[in-house]
């Protein structure tokens, strides 16, 4: 079927490519004309403006917005709301905040326009592996878009089936779900990312302990000089902690076990934060997920005011003088 | 080659079975004669006592001890130390504390007996999938035992190779590593379990937030009634959080999404604790791994003295009266 | 000077009493006529409705709202906004969310009405000890109200002066500060409560460890049966951890060291949650303050879904069967 | 009564001074003859060696060891064990690990020598304010030393009495307790320090959030530029979070609110670590106390391997490139 795509970055572009490969058609638009040309050369229909984009879509239209979360997505959805008509559908496939979805869906509902939020995981690997999708919106719209989702999803592939799923929604096994009303898709994706932070931090701490197993303070008889790359590799093979994140870890450590190409400065995107806000609203103790987020915050501080205050108190009650910092190794 | 196995529980028994299937031979001993008989009927040589066990092994002997960590393992290793001779080898395949390994290896070294510690992951799935093994001990002994380890390990199977590993120790890809001197095997396995706790807690918290997404306190417009089984399933398909633990989660939730068969009382074994002790000794901040351990401690308390003290303070400064507990749902 | 007070619960009533004692006058209103009568009998002027309340105040009027945070405060401030005039002042002395203050102040500014938010700590002890106040609002209004704040504040009393404060705002030593524009008062009070949660949890955990120092698992030679009441008391005397919260702890433990009157169910009010949300917005790692909040959440769960999922995974990979819960001791 | 003191650093020297002032006598020894001379000039009896020290004490002798925890304390206690006789008493007033006390007491018991462990809090303020002491050992020895402890303790002073303590051990109100058998004193002091870490971290995080309340990311309408020195001061006056640590914080912030004299590198001593080890042995969830310790560990890392691994994974699944570090502000 036909899909309109706005935003032809790596994600948007590859989604279009995966659709074209499977016989779908696409109208594409991006602020950058070169990005439009590139996909047009691969078979998509180029649009030169939002208006042109809307005009080239066949009713009922489907406009997938794949832009950075925040103002640009907001403005684009608003503009589309003015250009589209009842029974058309706007998909936000970016990383929007689920409460924005709820609000937008309510506003567009008044015009009869469907709003569908699609949280996608799989990132740069999606073109090849398929996209894992969590979808929120009206059943009617989600069902209508099913051919699109089926093509984009990874499918069952070689991953073993989970026992006991007979009679359950078969889409989950294909790699996409209709999670609930508008907002539910991004809500589930948000928690996915919250979990991701926790998993990553668990590995990071474990390998940190392994790496310091030969610290000079430790009695020599139980000091170990471990090969972290081999450890990551062996855990991929039948251990309880095997995972895709461990696969990536093994790759990184095979390349440079000391990870010297990295500064230790770690960004976070909104989802990890929103996950904690949601947990607090629900009164769910999210100890590990919060700790993981905070470690990222801390990673970006060279000096912490909190730490300085600790030193100030220590000097106050005990006369302790902290040594100066050494700074990162050259 | 020939292996002697002491302790024919699920782990010890299945290790012997996997070896027999691959053409190795085994002498087996257990306090429970029925366990010995069972394996004898599958082709192993039965031993009626530790002495008989030692006598039936061909030099250089290999005695694998597969018993619960702690006193029984300690006593058995000590007894074997008296029965075996120089160049023989004692393997502790259980979950011993790595510092005990270091001590035992030093003591047995004096007699020329090799002590090899093998941390294994894979649990009840090992017979079928193979055992992921982390091995500590003398190179000489570990090399000699290689045929055993090669049979027990999962092998490469269908798991994709990690790019960049050419020229590295090929054993890791087969599912076993020689981690270092005695103690290193159990040290690495200990950290493995510490990570496991963290990973499990990350999933547990994420699903807890998903489950409470329809809590009555939340404004109705953004309250979601989510299908947790489908969510677990879809994340297995191309998402960043896919893992074996997620596979197990999907299985459990396919069976009973409300998990009513579980009380919420969660045990911990020693490894999670030792991991934290090791992190503290190394001054490595193990925030997530500690949090995960503590949540298990907390799961086993019906009432917490710490919580009562909070209530007492709240009453002291604010006159707050806490409501009574409701108790678990019937 | 004259103050109008709306809401004559423990806090509002005692604030009026402390003002009357010091020669101020008060107009008082509460939905409950008995509360109004009680304070009228102590010298306040009774008002029978919000309109009557507004009419009995002399211009420029000062209306202190001391009601539970949330809808009732919101409605009352809105109603007062309709009854009062330019240069009048509305004080919210409750526990409102600081972002609500910012919004209300902006709205009232349009009418020339001052909005002052006062975070107060000291709770049930305020009448006797005075109220510690953190104030947000226009300088003009805060200065005009100074006689009120000076009376309500504890004053220097016997607490030693902090060295190095000469030349600094003397109000802080008296027990009140003008923290900044509207919202700043409740913001500072919010963080105060966030810290309070952290401090309480630190004591709670420490005493929890002391209480379990004679746990049966611990080798007998280092098992201690400690007198927690005496420990709390001795720490009040010259130790680094002395504090008012410790004073309260010592009182509680002097009464019943086992704290049997408490169920271990611990409420939280909004401030602890908002503190975490603020920390996340600022990207400040608030590890301890979050942990403290989460322990309260956890205290209110008899069974945790997260814990059940851990058990389900443990059963999945290791065949572990968790024991049933025992339930709280009778 | 007479006390022998070994180790005349700030703590040991001031303890002797406080005793001399109250009419006690002291024999003093230190490796540094100048330290001995200094105290001799204040009225103490100088000893030139451990043997001389032992000879100058009257039976039953009391030898207080006030040295850094670890090897030097261990050696000194061992040497004293050889020089003293039955019914003599060795006090370890340093920060020894309580399990070392248990062992030493057992060894010295065999010779009839009493071993008393005294955990002291109050640090550099002890000479003036008195020392808060937590004591472990035989009742007989602790009672005999009571005149010493009574002089060193702060006494009731101006601190209000805790209601409900009539009939309880009056020593706690004086500022010292007999906590239990050998080891109990240092155990209680250890937990004291564990709590101290938690309290400090709670304040540090709270002030960190206050300090970043004007971060550029925050919408301007709710951005606050707060005076942290005034906030610390006002909380000393009637608030729930008042404490001695807050007094010290107020002093530090009165001097330099930006704390520019501190690098943010924070040491930890053994007690915080041992507290966590004890909590783990008891299966008590010490979430806040652990977090506080870990923040200190983290404060000493300029770059964290754990953080680098997070970046490596992020690059692996999403192609994310972390920005370089800026380094601490000049």
**How does pLDDT run across A209-254, given as a tens digit for each residue?**
999 999 998 999 999 999 999 999 999 999 999 999 999 999 999 9
Q: What is the DSSP letter of D63?
A: E
CB distance B289 to A291 below 8 Å: no
Which is nearest to D138 in space by CA: D154, D158, D114, D170?
A: D114
Give the span between the Cα atoms of C94 and C141, in whole angstroms.
18
With 90 as the cut, is the pLDDT of residue C322 above it? Answer: no
D28 forms beta bridges with D5, D46
User: Are D294 and B276 inside 8 Å of each other by CB?
Assistant: no
Please state the separation of Cα C264 from the chain's center in Å.
20
Query: Taking the CA of residue B134 as centre, how many other CA atoms within 13 Å lie in the half-sphere pointing to its CB?
Result: 33
For chain B, list residues with pLDDT below 50.
329-330
Rg value, chain D, Cα: 24
Contact B317, D240 (CB under 8 A): yes
- Residue of A221, A220, A219, A223 lying closest to B106 (CA atoms): A221
Contact D162 C236 (CB under 8 A): yes
CB D124 within 8 A of CB A319: yes
Q: Which pLDDT belongs to residue B328?
A: 56
In the sheet that C114-121 helps form, which strands lie side by side, from edge to edge?
C45-46, C25-29, C2-6, C62-65, C89-92, C114-121, C132-136, C176-180
Dihedral sign for Cα atoms in the order A279, A283, A288, A291? positive
Of A123, A306, A327, the CB nearest to D319: A123
Contact check, Cβ <8 Å, C294/A286 = yes
Interface contact flag, C164 D224, Cβ < 8 Å: no
Q: Using 50, 70 and 90 to split pLDDT, how confident is the model at C176?
A: very high
- Search chain C and give the residue with CA nearest B245: C313
D217-221: long-range contacts at Cβ-Cβ below 8 A with a sequence spacing of 24 or more?
A: D217/C281, D217/C282, D217/C283, D218/C281, D218/C282, D221/C102, D221/C106
Interface test with A, best of B100, B109, B124, B162 (most A CBs within 10 A): B162
**Neighbouring-strand partners of residue D114:** D89
CA distance B321 to A69: 45
Is the pLDDT at D117 greater than 70, yes or no?
Answer: yes
Could you say which of B267, B307, B328 has the minimum Cβ distance to residue C303?
Answer: B328
8 A C-beta contact, residue A50 and residue A79: yes
Residues B175/B155, Cβ–Cβ less than 8 Å: yes
What's the token pair of residue C197? 């949660």
For the domain with range A189-303, which CATH number is right: 1.10.10.10, 3.40.50.1000, 1.10.1040.10, 1.10.3720.10?
A: 1.10.1040.10
CA distance A200 to B196: 12
How far apart, in whole angstroms, are the C-alpha atoms of residue C278 and residue D209?
A: 7
What is the per-residue burial (b if ≥16 Cβ within 10 Å, else e) of A227-245?
A: bbbbbbbbbbbbbbbbbbb
Question: Which chain A residues touch B164 with a CB distance below 8 Å?
Answer: 251, 254-255
Q: Do D283 and B297 touch (CB under 8 A)?
A: yes
* CB-based contact A240 C293, cutoff 8 Å: no
**pLDDT of D239-270, one tens digit each?**
999 999 999 999 999 989 999 999 999 999 89
Chain A nearest-CA distance from D329, in A, is: 8
Report the relative pairing of strands C114-121 and C132-136 from DSSP bridges.
antiparallel
Q: What is the pLDDT of residue D241?
A: 97
Whether pLDDT at D172 is above 90: yes
Does the beta-carbon distance from C311 to B264 stay under 8 Å? yes
Residue C55: both structure tokens together: 């009419």
Closest by Cβ to C123, choosing from B208, B211, B317? B317
Phi, psi of C133 (to 5 degrees): -125, 135
Structure tokens of A160?
A: 């073993």
Does D310 have pLDDT greater than 70? yes
Inter-residue contact C105 to C129 (CB < 8 Å): no
CB contact under 8 A, A284 and C297: yes
Contacts of residue A175 in chain B, CB cutoff 8 Å?
A: 234, 237-238
pLDDT higher than threshold 60 for residue C328: no
Tracing tokens 């008082």 back to the chain, one arrives at C28
pLDDT digit string (tens) for C78-92? 999 999 999 999 999
D1-18 pLDDT, tens digit each: 999 999 999 999 999 999
Are residues D160 and D150 in contact, defined by beta-carbon separation less than 8 angstroms?
Answer: no
For residue A286, pLDDT over 70 is answered with yes
Q: Closest to D132 (Cβ–Cβ): which among C213, C234, C244?
A: C234
Identity of the residue in C277, C285, C297 whose CB atom sits nearest the CB atom of A285: C297
Give the H/E segment covering residue D139: helix D139-144
Q: Look up residue D56 and give its two tokens.
A: 């100058």
CA distance C256 to C262: 10
Going A67 to A68 to A69 to A72, the CA torsion angle's sign is negative
Q: Which chains touch C (3 or more CB pairs under 8 A)?
A: A, B, D
Q: Distance between CA A22 and CA A154 in Å, rounded?
A: 13
Is there a contact between D72 and D65 (Cβ–Cβ < 8 Å)?
A: no
pLDDT at C330 over 50: no
Chains contacting B (3 or more CB pairs within 8 Å): A, C, D
Annotated catalytic residue, options A189, A220, A257, A267: A189
| Predicted confidence band of residue A320 (pLDDT cuts 50, 70, 90) | confident
pLDDT, tens digit (0-9, with 9 covering 90-100), for C192-231: 999 999 999 999 999 999 999 999 989 999 999 999 999 9
Would you give the end-to-end CA distance of chain B in angstroms?
A: 56
User: Does pLDDT of A266 surpass 70?
Assistant: yes
SS3 D6: strand
CB contact (8 A) between residue B297 and residue D317: no
How would you classify residue C292: left for phi > 0, otherwise alpha for psi between -120 and 50, otherwise beta?
alpha
Q: What's the half-sphere exposure (Cβ side, CA atoms, 13 Å) at C222?
A: 18
Q: Which two tokens stand for residue B177?
A: 């590593």
Contacts of D303 (CB under 8 A, 6+ apart): A263, A264, A328, A329, D325
Distances from the Cα of C193 to the Cα of A290, B191, D203, D263, D289, angstroms:
19, 37, 11, 28, 19
User: If you average pLDDT over residues A92-110, what whole number do you get?
Assistant: 97
Beta-carbon neighbour count of residue A45 at 10 Å? Answer: 18
Residue A330 pLDDT greater than 50, yes or no: no
CATH number of C2-158+169-181: 3.40.50.720
- Give the 3-state secondary structure of chain A: CEEEEECCCHHHHHHHHHHHHCCCEEEEECCCHHHHHHHHCCCCEECCCHHHHHHHCCCCCEEEECCCCCHHHHHHHHHHHHHCCCCCEEEECCCCCHHHHHHHHHHHHCCCCEEEEEEEECHHHHHHHCCEEEEECCHHHHHHCHHHHHHHCCCCCCCCCCCCCCCCCCHHHHCEEEEECCCHHHHHHHHHHHHHHHHHHHHHHHHHHHHCCCCCCCCHHHCCCCCHHHHHHHHCCCCCCCEHHHHHHHHHHHHCCCCCCCCCCCCCCHHHHHHHHHHHHHCCCCHHHHHHHHHHHHHCCCCCHHHHHHHHHHHHHHCCCCCCCCCCCC
pLDDT of D325 over the 90 cut = no
- CA gap B116, B139 in Å, rounded: 10
Domain ranges of chain A: 2-158+169-181, 189-303
Complex ipTM value: 0.96
Q: Which residues of D119-128 are buried (b: 16+ CB within 10 A; e: fewer)?
A: bbbbbbbbbe
Residue with tokens 């990071």: A204
Under DSSP, the state recorded for B330 is: -
Q: What is the structure's pLDDT at D326? A: 64
Active site residues of C: 189, 196
- For residue D251, the chain A residues in CB contact (below 8 A) are 316
Chain D contact probe: residue of B271, B273, B280 with most D CBs at under 10 A: B280
Q: Are D26 and D38 in contact (CB under 8 A)?
A: no
CA distances, B1 to each of A256, B20, B146 (Å): 37, 10, 10
Each residue's pLDDT tens digit, C278-317:
999 999 999 999 999 999 999 999 999 999 999 999 999 9
Contact call for residues B213 and A282 (beta carbons, < 8 A): yes
Tokens representing C28? Answer: 């008082």
Which residues of chain D approach chain B closer than 8 Å at the C-beta?
240, 268, 273, 276-277, 280-281, 283-287, 290-291, 293-295, 297-298, 300, 304, 306, 317
CA torsion sign for C266, C267, C272, C274 is positive
pLDDT at C56 over 60: yes
CA A322 distance to own-chain centroid: 41
Who among D209, D224, D246 is closest to C284 (CB)? D209
- Cα separation, A136 vs A125, in Å, equals 23
Please tell me the predicted confidence (pLDDT) of residue B315.
Answer: 93
Tokens 């003859």 -> residue: D33
Question: Is A196 a residue of the active site?
Answer: yes
In DSSP terms, which residues pair with C62 in a beta bridge?
C89
Whole-angstrom distance, CA of residue A292 vs CA of residue B198: 10
């Amino acid at each position: 079927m036909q899909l309109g795509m706005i935003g032809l970055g790596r994600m948007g572009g590859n989604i279009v490519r995966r659709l074209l490969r499977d016989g779908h058609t696409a109208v594409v638009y991006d602020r950058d004309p070169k990005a439009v040309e590139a996909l047009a050369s691969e078979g998509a229909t180029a649009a030169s403006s939002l208006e042109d984009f809307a005009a080239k879509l066949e009713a009922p239209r489907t406009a997938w917005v794949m832009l950075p979360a925040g103002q640009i997505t907001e403005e684009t959805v608003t503009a589309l709301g003015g250009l589209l008509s009842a029974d058309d559908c706007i998909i936000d496939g970016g990383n929007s905040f689920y409460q924005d979805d709820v609000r937008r869906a309510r506003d567009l509902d008044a015009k009869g326009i469907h709003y569908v939020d699609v949280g996608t995981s799989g990132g740069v690997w999606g073109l090849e592996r398929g996209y894992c999708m969590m979808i929120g919106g009206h059943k009617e719209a989600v069902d209508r878009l099913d051919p699109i989702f089926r093509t984009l999803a990874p499918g069952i592939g070689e991953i073993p089936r989970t026992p006991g799923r007979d009679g359950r929604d078969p889409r989950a096994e294909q790699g996409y779900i209709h999670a609930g009303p508008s907002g539910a898709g991004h809500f589930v994706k948000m928690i996915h990312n919250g979990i991701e932070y926790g998993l990553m931090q668990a590995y990071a701490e474990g390998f940190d302990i392994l790496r310091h197993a030969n610290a000079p303070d430790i009695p020599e008889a139980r000091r170990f000089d471990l090969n972290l790359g081999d450890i990551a590799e062996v855990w991929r093979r039948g251990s309880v902690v095997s995972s895709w994140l461990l696969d990536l870890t093994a790759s990184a450590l095979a390349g440079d076990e000391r990870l010297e190409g990295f500064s230790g400065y770690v960004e976070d995107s909104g989802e990890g934060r929103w996950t904690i806000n949601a947990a607090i609203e629900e009164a769910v103790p999210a100890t590990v997920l919060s700790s993981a987020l905070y470690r990222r915050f801390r990673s970006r501080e060279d000096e912490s005011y909190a730490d300085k205050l600790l030193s100030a108190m220590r000097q106050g009650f005990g006369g302790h003088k902290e040594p100066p910092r050494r700074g990162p190794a050259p």
